[in-house]
Amino acid sequence: MPAFPTHRRWLQWGLIGALGLGVVSQASALDDAATPAADAAMKSALAAARDHRWGDIDQTAINDHILAGYVAYHRLRARLSSASADDVNAFITRYGDSPLADWMRGSAQTRFGQLGRFDDLLAISDGEPSGTIRQCYYYTALLDRDPARAASGGDTLWHVGESQPNECDTLFSTLQARGEIDDQDIWERMMLAWENGQSGLVTYLERSLDDRWQRALDSFDTVRGSYPAVTQIPLDLGPQGQASGALITAAMHGFTRADTEAALEAWRKIAPHAPLEDAQREQVEHDLAFYSMVRNVDNNQGWVDDTLPRLADADLIELRIRNAVTAGHWDNVVHWTETLPPEVRSDAHWQYWLGRASEALGDDTTAQQAYAMAADERSFFGFAAADRLGQPYELQMDGTRVTTLQRELTAMLPVVQRTEALLRIDEKGLARSEWYTAAARGTPDQAAALADYAIRQGWYGMAIQTTIAAQQWNALPYRFPPAYREAFLEWGQTNQVDPYLLMGIARRESAFNPQAVSPVGARGLMQLMPGTADHVARGLGIGAPSLSSLFEPQTNIQLGSTYIHSMLERYRGNRIAATAAYNAGPQRVDRWLSRAPREFDRFVESIPFRETRDYVQAVLAYRVIFESLANQGSTEGIAMLSQAERQGRYDPTLIASN
């Protein structure tokens, strides 16, 4: 159970804003302003402010509204050209508990930069801003005030393999005139642009180099036309003889992706004498090792095994272990697991595989120790290790008790009042911004109170994001709330699908945000693509759902549960394969089954898409958590996998159509 602040501290937080979350005068005026008429006036005023229709705003009607700052934000933002730094700082101070403060600072930095008001830009800044344009303005402002910082920041902005916005031009041209960006920097950026496929930027930078660089440019043209020519690159290119390293690094970048085996042969020839900096050499060898393992280039394996200890890169070693697991080379699994950094090796994932490998090699003592260590964690492999030991799962759950007084004080917070008001006027995005800002700034105790409040209001997605912002990983009732439980139970029963599996999918897909939209257009709780939803609806004999209806929990869960049911039928009820298909598509899963290891754990580890591999593990672990929470937090009698899923063969016979 977390230790909550004393009542006095809670009183300070709620009434005088210990974290800048509000003051008494704001809180005391809320009840009078929170009326339907006041909300209607606020909604209208905010719409008018966004369009700069100042005459349509009834300022008297919104003066006491908790959201009046949103209109003030648009007013000040509209007049930033004439506003002073003091005006901006006063706004930032007044609304420091709201995301409005950061938004205003960012808007003012951009506008002051555009106007060349660099003293004012620095006066409102609190360090390097986010975003390339604002960073370029910021370091331009420092050119005459702190030349060393300007040069350092400009160097970082320069060394990228893509075009930077025009707002960086003054910074770059000034640094070039001062010699802070020289021809060597131009060459290095040109090589980065080539690596990144930015041919236009390559041509632009190439024109900036004079005749002293002709020999280097000729070598570049040669290797650009034929990667194997990297072995013929002179080692003293450029006026100072320092250009060869960047060219070799860039050439090896492309060569490794085009023909990994041939690239390694070339690297063996040039590595002993190539004039590369340590970071460049590490980049080349990291790429060679990674692509050799991903593409299973057998002829490169010896070099990879010799190189990995020197690179000491945990991600590469993990990939080496995965390949050994897939191939069933248990001695290699043990060897490479032992080379992981201790903080990585102790993870349940790798302890589980150390246990499996040790068991296969007849070392039962090490196997039992590794399984026991893995079983202490709440994860797919932690639960799988517990199954090996025949013991209940470890949830590592913290208590989440919040007192009545703490709840009352939380309800009084201006951030809570603003969030509720924004939701009342249908500004869901702004409401989430308010909430997450408060969660990120609060202490763990305060974040727990916010999560508790969100759960009681039915703001399930916001409760989950609150725990993420506050890093409350063990607050399971907040992280895994019984969101839309009745709908999951109803459609799970209707479609003969485990409702806890449905909840696990929705939790992974959308974090229970019914309005979620993915970058590719998947919608709602279970992240349905419109085309998939149409296909499922036709199979049910109902009309094609509208895009907006996919945001309705009942509709989304009905269609999503029907789709996962079809995947379960396809794979004879196997939830591992069906869950993988829900994420990656059944055609891919069919292919994976045709060449995968036969055991369930090795099949999961062999899934080539990291997203899908992590997805399957998360959904099945989440499913255990949801069932355990429904069972008062007990894992007794709960199994992550059925006997058939644990002991069955993962091959094409799993596909029902076969």
Task: Report pLDDT for 25.
Answer: 39
What's the rounded Cα separation, in Å, for the pair 417 and 17?
Answer: 13
pLDDT-derived band at 658 (thresholds 50, 70, 90) equals low
Look at residue 401 and tell me whether its pLDDT is greater than 90.
no
276: left (phi over 0), alpha (psi -120 to 50) or beta: beta
pLDDT-derived band at 67 (thresholds 50, 70, 90) equals very high
- Contact call for residues 131 and 138 (beta carbons, < 8 A): no
The neighbouring-strand residues paired with 517 are: 523
Secondary structure of 130-147 as H, E, C letters: CCHHHHHHHHHHCCCCCH
Look at residue 368 and tell me whether its pLDDT is greater than 80.
yes
- Span 483-507, mean pLDDT? 96
Domain extent listing, the chain: 30-65+67-126, 182-311, 485-654
Residue 166: HSE in the Cβ half-sphere, 13 Å Cα cutoff: 1
Q: From residue 643, give the alpha-carbon distance in Å to each of 195, 573, 614, 625.
A: 49, 12, 22, 19
* pLDDT tens digits along 188-228: 999 999 999 999 999 999 999 999 999 999 999 999 999 99
Mean pLDDT of the chain: 93
- Span 343-349, mean pLDDT? 97
pLDDT-derived band at 28 (thresholds 50, 70, 90) equals very low
pLDDT-derived band at 19 (thresholds 50, 70, 90) equals very low
Q: Where are the beta strands (DSSP E) in 360-476?
A: none
Considering 448-452, 463-467, 489-493, the range whose residues carry the highest mean pLDDT is: 489-493
Look at residue 303 and tell me whether its pLDDT is greater than 90.
yes
Which architecture, in CATH terms, is 485-654? Orthogonal Bundle (1.10)
Question: What does R_g of the chain's alpha carbons equal in angstroms?
Answer: 29
Single-letter residue type at 620: L
Look at residue 337 and tell me whether its pLDDT is greater than 50.
yes
**What's CA 214's distance to the chain center, in Å?**
44
Rounded to two decimals, the pTM is 0.90
* pLDDT tens digits along 122-150: 999 999 999 999 999 999 999 999 999 99
Look at residue 16 and tell me whether its pLDDT is greater than 70.
no
What's the rounded Cα separation, in Å, for the pair 339 and 353?
Answer: 14
- Span 352-357, mean pLDDT? 98
Q: From residue 236, give the alpha-carbon distance in Å to each of 222, 247, 340, 513, 567.
A: 16, 11, 38, 58, 60
Task: Report pLDDT for 481.
Answer: 95
Task: Report pLDDT for 11.
Answer: 42
* Dihedral (CA of 30, 35, 37, 41) sign: positive
**What's CA 357's distance to the chain center, in Å?**
32
- Span 419-430, mean pLDDT? 96
* pLDDT tens digits along 82-118: 999 999 999 999 999 999 999 999 999 999 999 999 9
pLDDT-derived band at 29 (thresholds 50, 70, 90) equals very low
- The closest alpha carbon to 488, from 584, 627, 620, belongs to 627
- Name the token pair of 574: 């196997």
- Name the token pair of 434: 């308010």
Task: Report pLDDT for 33.
Answer: 56
33-37, 316-320, 484-488, 556-560: lowest mean pLDDT where?
33-37
